[in-house]
A = this chain, B = another copy of it.
Amino acid sequence: MNVKKGKQSIQFEKPPFIIGEASICGPKEAEGPLARYFDVLSEDPTFGKASWEEGESEMVRQAVSMAIKKAGKKKEDIRYIFAGDLLGQLIASTFGIKDMDIPTFGLYGACSTCGEGLSLAAMTVAAGYADYVVAEASSHYGSAEKQFRFPLEYGNQRPLSATWTVTGSGAFVVSNENEGRTEDICITGITTGKIVDYGVKDSFNMGACMAPAAADVIYQNLNDFGIKPTYYDRIITGDLGKVGKRILIELLSANGMDITKQHMDCGIEIFDNEEQDTHSGGSGCGCSAITLAGYIMRQLKDNVWKRVLFVPTGALLSTVSFNEGQNIPGIAHAVMIERR
């Protein structure tokens, strides 16, 4: 029996395993400090396709196929796929997975989508609805800038609080059995985020929009499970960047929780933000997805870390809501990933 913990969390009695994962990235990520952890580093930002959007779909296709292959499975073994991206109407996901013939749940949680997908995949597997489920998330610098900001050709200046959308897709096969694999990497629990609106309106400061949601879900996770930050080797947010990180630490500190020793942010790690001119850090669904699939899973497999709280963070806006003067609320989903 799986256990409901507090208001927002679930503890899995028989935790599902991550048995295969893949990370595909673009040329800028290939020059960053985590490059050696990624499976495929493309020199071509369109991945051989005619547009950024088609290139993003190609990344999705490669990530899902490779994760299934690395799990030693075939696509026929996969009962469901949970997938999402940043583009309107999820076109990157749709055209990436449309020919795979796998029942599909489309998700949108902005840059928190990897956490949303892993949560639902783990719930689905732990309930016995499926033996194998794929969770996947992607983003692409070119397609995201085109949609959310300015034409790249315009060359607008970016403030230091701005982040840089990661070109990447991360995919994971979640399974009810580990089938004799050497490393037991499990999803032991989840804490599902609420939408949190602190009234921030600056779309060039996403970190500030998302930090309150991250603080909320981390606080809730620790409370629901009755644990302290030291339970985890790392508490890893998705793409708060340097500005958002500071706010997160302050918000939790004001609630008596000190996560300075455990906290890491994928957006800060994925680029050398001074050298690579990415300012506050990397962002996008792909940022946390490939950092988990590449770097974090490696640390768990190598026994460097035993327990991490993975907390992808999303800023909920569109150009329409922004232009109509709406705030930018945030959301974050926490996934407990542990080596057994």
Contact A4 B129, CB 8 Å, known A53-B324, A105-B116, A108-B106: yes
A106 to B14, CA, bound (A): 26
Chain A 315-336 against B: per-residue CB contact (8 Å), 1 yes, 0 no? 0111111001010010100000
A127 adjacent to B123 (CB under 8 Å): yes
Closest to A1 in B: B128
A107 in contact with B104 (CB, 8 Å): no
Interface check A110, CB cutoff 8 A: yes
Interface mask (A128-145 → B, CB under 8 Å = 1, otherwise 0): 111000000000000000
Proximity string of chain A (85-120) to chain B, C-beta cutoff 8 Å, 1 when within and 0 when not: 011111100110111011111111110000010011
CB distance from A8 to the nearest CB of B (A): 5
A39 CB to closest chain B CB (Å) equals 24
Tell whether A321 pairs with B120 under 8 Å between CB atoms, given A192-B80, A194-B102, A331-B104: no
Measured CB to CB, the closest approach of chain B to A326, in angstroms, equals 6
Question: Looking at A10, A54, A192, A195, which has the most chain B CB atoms within 10 Å of its CB?
Answer: A195
In-complex Cβ contact of A316 among B94, B107, B126 (8 A): B94
Q: List 17 A-B contacts (CB under 8 A).
A: A2-B129, A4-B128, A53-B320, A87-B320, A88-B89, A91-B321, A94-B195, A94-B329, A95-B329, A99-B197, A101-B194, A104-B195, A104-B331, A106-B107, A106-B331, A123-B127, A126-B127
Binding site for B on A (CB under 8 A): 1-2, 4, 7-8, 10, 50-51, 53-54, 79-80, 84, 86-91, 94-95, 97-99, 101-110, 116, 119-120, 123-124, 126-130, 147, 192-195, 197, 316-321, 324, 326, 329, 331
